[in-house]
Amino acid sequence: MEDLKKKISNVQNPETGKTLGEESRVTKVEYKGESLMITLQRDGITPESKRKLEDAIIEVLKGDEDEDNIFILSESKKSDDIYKAVGKAPKKEASKPAELKVGHGQVGEKKRIPNVGKVIAIGSGKGGVGKSTFTANLAATLSAQGNKVGIIDADIYGPSMPMLLNKRGEKPEASEDKQILPLEAYGMKFISFGNFIHEDEPVVWRGPMLGGVLNQFFFETDWGELDYLLLDLPPGTGDVQLSMVQNLELDGSIIVSTPQDMALLDARKALHMFDKLNVHVIGMIENMSSFVCDDCGKEHFLYGTGGVMSACSELGVGYLGKIPMEMALRKGSDFGTPYMTQNKYEGNPVWKSYQEIASRLDRYFNPSDNKKKSLMGKIFGKKEQ
Ligand code: ADP
């Protein structure tokens, strides 16, 4: 272990030319089962340098460790620093633990969250289709593309964001003016029911009672400036989901489904729910569309193929893309190192899928930008980015 630590500490920070050891950036090196988890303190490092740094660490450890078992986590002491590279204002000082206001929320005019760009709800007809995994990894993809991203984990039945983002057991604090200070992970802000309730506690809140808490997550949380805020809804299409978004103006929704007929049937219900709420469905995602065997490289279509795409054309709703099954995606979720925060997967089928989905989302929200890009491409004979 000491040897490993030494090797990591000798890697150079491309921004300063000093080693990670000299800058005291290596805060934890530990094994969890076969996996080597390395935690770095990343204050003051731009996203670009962070990528280089992570690649350099993998490079020096490759000889000793299986690359697939190396996971790099990052933490920040001065959270305002994360956003320096993209021009974020400093955050308010924490004063005491944040408390939830369980109670009936006021139903009123739908409102926007100040300084927050696109708010997207992510839903599914049923649980277990990969909705939360998708939310965390889409957020990470958008963030790596230079966006300021936040996540609200509104899944009261099984809040998984604390685990997915390696922040189990952390309690959000409140600022002096009683705003909740969101937690931060991998340069993204997030808030989850899971960080307020004990993991083993049964959840007894019902639809209307949640209104107050959600309003707090939406409007009494110091989100700062965000380009995207993703809302991970609980699975299903009942009252809870309906009451969740009654006060918040959404810019659209995404429905995650697997290609199985049963899941698709439920996904249709989710579509009708968003219709009822007057929330435009940007598109559907086919998750676990196929399985690529690690050993033979062959692609297996466990649940058939193209189910979601054909459902989309039948229902007249957009199709955002498909994500294959990959063991590393599941492992990353279990270890709190989302797949799309680990550069070593760049170029893999799942990686490419997320990039494509994020680009489609960007084209959906910025069609004129893309027209401009393509026009410039034609004029200057450049390939489109
Ligand atoms: P949901 O939020 O819909 O209940 P989760 O995101 O918790 O579902 O995913 C359920 C399980 O499936 C998790 O163990 C997750 O790691 C795994 N999973 C999700 N998508 C994939 C995928 N494309 N490949 C492999 N495992 C996946």
Q: Is the CB of 138 under 6 A from ligand 1?
A: no
Confidence of residue 106 (pLDDT cuts 50, 70, 90): low
Q: Which of 10-24, 89-103, 337-351 has the lowest mean pLDDT?
A: 89-103
Rounded to whole angstroms, the Cα distance separating 50 from 55 reads 9
Q: Which two tokens stand for residue 157?
A: 């039945």
| Bridge partners, 35 (sequence order) | 32
Q: Which candidate, 38, 18, 17, places its Cα nearest to that of 26? A: 38
Give residue 302's pLDDT: 82
Taking the centre of ligand 1 as the mean of its atom positions, its distance from the CA of residue 323, in whole angstroms, is 11
Taking the centre of ligand 1 as the mean of its atom positions, its distance from the CA of residue 134, in whole angstroms, is 8
Q: Which candidate, 361, 359, 360, 354, places its Cα nearest to that of 134? A: 354
Element (H, E) at 311: helix 307-315
Q: Is the CB of 325 under 6 A from ligand 1?
A: yes
Strand ranges for the chain from DSSP E: 26-32, 35-41, 70-75, 94-97, 116-123, 149-153, 173-175, 180-181, 183-185, 188-192, 226-232, 252-257, 281-292, 299-300, 319-325
Q: Which candidate, 289, 270, 94, places its Cα nearest to that of 175? A: 94
Confidence of residue 88 (pLDDT cuts 50, 70, 90): very low
- Separation of CA 341 from chain center: 10
Give residue 231's pLDDT: 96
Taking the centre of ligand 1 as the mean of its atom positions, its distance from the CA of residue 98, in whole angstroms, is 30
**115-144: pLDDT as tens digits:** 999 999 999 988 899 999 999 999 999 999
**173-230: pLDDT as tens digits:** 998 888 999 999 999 999 998 898 776 666 555 555 676 788 889 999 999 999 999 9
Rounded to whole angstroms, the Cα distance separating 291 from 298 reads 8
Give the percent of the chain with pLDDT over 90.
38
Confidence of residue 16 (pLDDT cuts 50, 70, 90): confident
Pocket residue to mutate for ligand 1, from 333, 352, 353, most atoms within 8 A of Cβ: 333
**HSE-CB for 38 with a 13 A CA cutoff:** 26
Give residue 136's pLDDT: 98
Q: Is the CB of 50 under 6 A from ligand 1?
A: no
331: pLDDT strictly greater than 80: yes
Q: Closest Cα to atom 25, ligand 1: which residue?
A: 325
Please count the other Cβ atoms lying within 10 Å of the Cβ belonging to residue 348. Answer: 16
Element (H, E) at 10: none
Rounded to whole angstroms, the Cα distance separating 193 from 187 reads 20
Q: Which one-letter amino acid corresponds to residue 205?
A: W
Longest dimension (CA), the chain: 61
Q: Is the CB of 326 under 6 A from ligand 1?
A: yes
Q: What is the pTM assigned to this prediction?
A: 0.81
Q: Is the CB of 289 under 6 A from ligand 1?
A: no
74: pLDDT strictly greater than 70: yes
Question: What is residue 323's DSSP assignment?
Answer: E
Kindly give, in sequence order, each residue whose CB lies less than 8 Å from that of residue 101, ignoring residues fewer than 6 positions away: 212, 213, 216
92: pLDDT strictly greater than 70: no
Q: Is the CB of 243 under 6 A from ligand 1?
A: no
Kindly give, in sequence order, each residue whose CB lies less than 8 Å from that of residue 9, ignoring residues fewer than 6 positions away: 19, 20, 21, 26
For the CA of 128, the nearest atom of ligand 1? 4
Contact 48, 58 (CB under 8 A): no
Please count the other Cβ atoms lying within 10 Å of the Cβ belonging to residue 28. Answer: 12
Q: Closest Cα to atom 12, ligand 1: which residue?
A: 130
**233-247: pLDDT as tens digits:** 988 887 767 777 778
Q: Is the CB of 157 under 6 A from ligand 1?
A: no
